[in-house]
Amino acid sequence: MNLAFLFPGQGSQKTGMGSALAGQYPSGAKIFQTADNILGIPLSKLCFEGSAEELDETRNAQPALLVVSVALAQVLKENGISPSITAGHSLGEYSALVVSGAIKFEECLHLVRRRAEIMALSSRNKPGSMAAVLGLKDKKVEEICRNASGEGIVEPANYNCPGQVVISGETKAVARAAELAKQEGAKRVLPLKVSVASHSQLMRDAAQEYSREIEKATWNMPDVPIVMNVTGETTTDIVEIKRCLVQQLTRPVRWTECVATIVKSGIRQAVELGPGKVLTGLVARCSPEIKVYPVSDPDSINDFLQLKGSN
């Protein structure tokens, strides 16, 4: 079966995620228990019943999403469903790496926790903000960022789909870019509830420190290709993967290009493995010919398995 596994990034987390999965599937429960033991914190309890405020903290949200996505993928694999290609949006790229076999789950969990800690520290030293610009072409948003750069760093952070670009940088510069975007006819400009200016040059120091963490990790040749955020292209090369992961902190997520690459590979079906349906919506806007099935809990797992069984 030609199938893409897609993994959402930070912002998709929600209280209760993974609870039903762990309750019904022993393999899912084992992954949560492993995470609790490795991190030395009750991450499973935080996912299942923690407050939204605590779960939304970068240091918690990133490992929590990794655990939920990997657990969902494990259940599908146990039922004979494996990917031909993987991709993840920002943090979701790490779930894609685990599922592709490029890095073991336990080691990736350490890496993601360090990534979250380094990003959180960087945001305290160099606070920033992000905003989603809807209804303008990519080139126009890039021009707006250049015109607003007199107020500080501001640049495209996520090319999510045609007509949706997230900008990131210093708060004053992002605010100025938002004003200019409205003047240029943007349908909406939505400030994001984040304190980390992800995928911008404000993360330069974080990227330098994080590169050392990347080099400490043990990497393996992936079993299937991964579409990398930074390039929008597939790779199985470990040197390229490591380079892209470091660059991802300061460079934009080219999700529109990632989806185009999946289409070029001939794949027309995908599953979004994680809470919510963010990627399902983005892929529909990028390439309607790809059918995405959101899988987040036992009910949606069963629905997908039944659908595949009937084909």
133 and 184 part of one domain = yes
CB 122 within 8 A of CB 196: yes
What per-residue confidence (pLDDT) applies to 307? 85
63 and 166 part of one domain = no
pLDDT band at 287 (very low <50, low <70, confident <90, very high): very high
What per-residue confidence (pLDDT) applies to 139? 98
Residue 84 is a catalytic residue: no
Residue 110 is a catalytic residue: no
Q: What is the mean pLDDT of residues 195-221?
A: 95
Give the list of residues 6+ apart from residue 275 with CB closer than 8 angstroms, or none.
8, 12, 13, 14, 17, 65, 68, 296
165 and 16 part of one domain = no
Q: What is the mean pLDDT of residues 12-32?
A: 96
Of 145, 173, 194, which residue sits at a domain end?
Answer: 194
On the question of pLDDT at 186 being above 60, the answer is yes
What per-residue confidence (pLDDT) applies to 299? 96
Tokens of 72: 């969902």
Average pLDDT in the chain: 95
Given 199, 200, 296, 300, the catalytic residue: 199
CATH number for position 259: 3.40.366.10
What per-residue confidence (pLDDT) applies to 310? 56
28 and 112 part of one domain = yes
pLDDT band at 193 (very low <50, low <70, confident <90, very high): confident
106 and 209 part of one domain = yes
What per-residue confidence (pLDDT) applies to 137? 97
pLDDT band at 4 (very low <50, low <70, confident <90, very high): very high
For the chain, how many structural domains are there in total? 2
Name the residue range of residue 175's domain: 128-194
Given 44, 90, 100, 168, the catalytic residue: 90
CATH number for position 178: 3.30.70.250
231 and 303 part of one domain = yes
What is the value of pTM for the model shown?
A: 0.96
Q: What is the mean pLDDT of residues 261-283?
A: 97
146 and 97 part of one domain = no
186 and 220 part of one domain = no
Burial class (CB in 10 A: 0-12, 13-18, 19+), 52: exposed
Q: What is the mean pLDDT of residues 35-60?
A: 93
132 and 274 part of one domain = no
